[in-house]
């Protein structure tokens, strides 16, 4: 099968488009014939091995899984003998090992049925980003109907889902983005939009919940936008040094939170079946809709990674297989 392979940490230029063996599955595994694969910023961290703590779970000297990619949508090709939830031919989406390939291996607890109103490209855009937005708002943020919620990075992969999910939970939503993306954020349902190129979100109203997906503002700056008893959820981090890679801001938030009235939290969300089912229900009822900026063919994955890393994407970048 064709796949994007990178057997050592480094830039996207090290990735190779090549023929490799199809994954072998065990009794509890599922083989997915990939139709499309989603791209998220976490791929850059796994590709480069930075910050260094990433390597603790994914290989100290070189990647344990040389095929890049996690989010996937496609057809079930084969199942192990202990798998009862899915059967060959089922249309599914979720996460797997090595989705930038024609076939990928996963387990049934990381897949759900694809809603019929979604294309495979749309479904592939969902898993990591939508689950991150859901858990950031619902679990860490404890979002409540009627709250005033600020989404920083509202036009990004996580942000576009977060705006829609917050509206689905009955919140009054303000999105923060650049001038070129304000129309998109309004179209997603935001009640108000702040253009950060011309206005500082911390100079005006205060919010019950702030979800920061952009990763560029200091902790003190973010706290100025929160009510005295409000909540801050930091998702991801700005690119930084090799050791912490920008996560020092998240660490400071967790250390400070017990000593202030505001609840300062962070999360690293891993998609699971329960959360994927919740997201699938929202998708099936059109409460949320994936926003796809660009699609790239499998052989152009390095180009897609560079485009996403530049930070200009409106919504998601998707790989078609």
Residue 199 is part of a domain; what is its CATH number?
A: 3.40.50.720
Residues 159 and 70 in one domain: no
CA distance 190 to 154: 9
Task: Give the closest residue to 160 by CA, choosing from 180, 179, 133.
Answer: 133
Count of domains forming the chain:
2
Structure tokens at 155: 């036009």
Residues 133 and 6 in one domain: no
Evaluate if residue 163 carries a pLDDT over 60.
Answer: yes
58: Cα within 13 Å, side-chain hemisphere: 26
Top mean-pLDDT range of 38-47, 89-98, 230-239: 89-98
Instruction: Examine residue 285 and state whether it is found in any structural domain, yes or no.
Output: no
pLDDT tier, 64 (very low <50, low <70, confident <90, very high otherwise): confident
Task: Give the closest residue to 234 by CA, choosing from 244, 243, 247, 245.
Answer: 247
Residues 218 and 299 in one domain: no
8 A C-beta contact, residue 150 and residue 174: yes
Residues 138 and 58 in one domain: no
Residues 122 and 132 in one domain: no
Sheet strands (E) in the chain = 2-5, 16-19, 29-39, 71-79, 91-95, 103-107, 111-113, 148-152, 172-177, 192-195, 207-212, 226-235, 263-267, 292-297, 316-320
Residue that has been written with the tokens 């690119």 in this structure: 239
State which residues form the domain around 50: 2-126+290-320
Q: For residues 63-77, give the mean pLDDT.
A: 91
Phi, psi of 279, rounded to the nearest 5 degrees: -65, -40
* pTM assigned to the model: 0.93
Instruction: Examine residue 283 and state whether it is found in any structural domain, yes or no.
Output: no
Least confident of 103-112, 204-213, 247-256: 247-256
Describe the crossing of helices 273-284 and 157-168 by its angle, rounded to 10 degrees: 70
Contacts of 51-55 spanning 24+ positions with Cβ under 8 A? 51/240, 51/241, 51/242, 51/243, 51/244, 51/245, 51/246, 51/247, 52/242, 52/243, 52/245, 53/243, 54/245, 55/9
Q: Which residues contact 210 (CB under 8 A, 6 or more apart)?
A: 149, 150, 152, 222, 225, 226, 230, 231, 232, 233
Residues 61 and 140 in one domain: no
Structure tokens at 206: 């205060």
Per-residue pLDDT, 241: 47
Q: For residues 251-272, give the mean pLDDT.
A: 84
Instruction: Examine residue 188 and state whether it is found in any structural domain, yes or no.
Output: yes
Instruction: Examine residue 280 and state whether it is found in any structural domain, yes or no.
Output: no
Residues 262 and 303 in one domain: no
Structure tokens at 4: 């994007």
8 A C-beta contact, residue 79 and residue 86: yes
Indicate the DSSP class of residue 97.
B
Q: Which residues contact 47 (CB under 8 A, 6 or more apart)?
A: 6, 9, 10, 11, 12, 15, 68, 305
Instruction: Examine residue 260 and state whether it is found in any structural domain, yes or no.
Output: yes
Residues 73 and 104 in one domain: yes
**Higher-confidence residue: 251 or 136?**
136
Residues 218 and 107 in one domain: no
Task: Give the closest residue to 270 by CA, choosing from 31, 71, 26.
Answer: 71
Q: Which residues contact 178 (CB under 8 A, 6 or more apart)?
A: 155, 195, 196, 197
Least confident of 52-56, 117-121, 143-147, 262-266: 52-56
Q: Given 229, 252, 267, which residue is the final one in a domain? A: 267
Mean residue pLDDT of the chain comes to 91
Instruction: Examine residue 276 and state whether it is found in any structural domain, yes or no.
Output: no
Instruction: Examine residue 237 and state whether it is found in any structural domain, yes or no.
Output: yes
CA distance 254 to 192: 29
Residues 13 and 108 in one domain: yes
Residue 26 is part of a domain; what is its CATH number?
A: 3.90.180.10
Instruction: Examine residue 13 and state whether it is found in any structural domain, yes or no.
Output: yes
Kindly state the helix (H) or strand (E) to which residue 203 belongs, with its residue range.
Answer: none
Residues 108 and 218 in one domain: no
Residues 105 and 176 in one domain: no
């Amino acid at each position: 099968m064709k796949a994007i392979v990178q057997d050592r940490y480094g830039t996207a230029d090290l990735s190779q488009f090549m023929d490799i063996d199809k994954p072998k599955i065990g009794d509890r595994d599922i083989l997915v014939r990939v139709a499309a694969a989603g791209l998220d910023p976490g791929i850059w961290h796994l590709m480069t091995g930075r910050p260094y703590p990433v390597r603790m779970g994914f290989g100290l000297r070189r990647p344990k899984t040389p095929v890049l990619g996690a989010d996937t949508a496609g057809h079930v090709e084969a199942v192990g003998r202990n798998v009862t939830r899915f059967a060959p031919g089922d249309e599914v989406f979720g996460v797997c090992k090595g989705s930038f390939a024609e076939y990928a291996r996963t387990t049934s607890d990381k897949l759900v049925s694809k809603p019929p109103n979604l294309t495979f490209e749309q479904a592939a855009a969902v898993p990591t980003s939508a689950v991150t937005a859901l858990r950031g708002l619902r679990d860490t943020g404890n979002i409540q109907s009627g709250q005033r919620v600020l989404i920083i990075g509202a036009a990004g992969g996580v942000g576009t889902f977060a705006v829609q999910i917050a509206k689905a939970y009955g919140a009054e939503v303000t999105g923060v983005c650049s001038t070129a993306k304000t129309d998109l954020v309004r179209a997603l349902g935001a009640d108000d939009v702040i253009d950060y190129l011309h206005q500082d979100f911390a100079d005006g109203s205060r919010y019950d919940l702030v979800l920061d997906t952009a990763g560029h503002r200091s902790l003190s700056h973010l706290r100025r936008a929160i009510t005295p008893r409000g909540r801050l959820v930091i998702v991801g981090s700005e690119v930084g040094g090799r050791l912490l890679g920008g996560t020092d801001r998240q660490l400071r938030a967790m250390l400070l939170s017990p000593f202030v009235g505001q609840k300062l939290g962070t999360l690293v969300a891993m998609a699971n079946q329960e959360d994927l089912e919740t997201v699938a229900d929202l998708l099936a009822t059109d409460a949320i809709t994936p926003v796809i900026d660009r699609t790239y063919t499998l052989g152009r994955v390095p180009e897609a990674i560079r485009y996403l890393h530049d930070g200009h994407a409106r919504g998601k970048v998707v790989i078609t297989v």
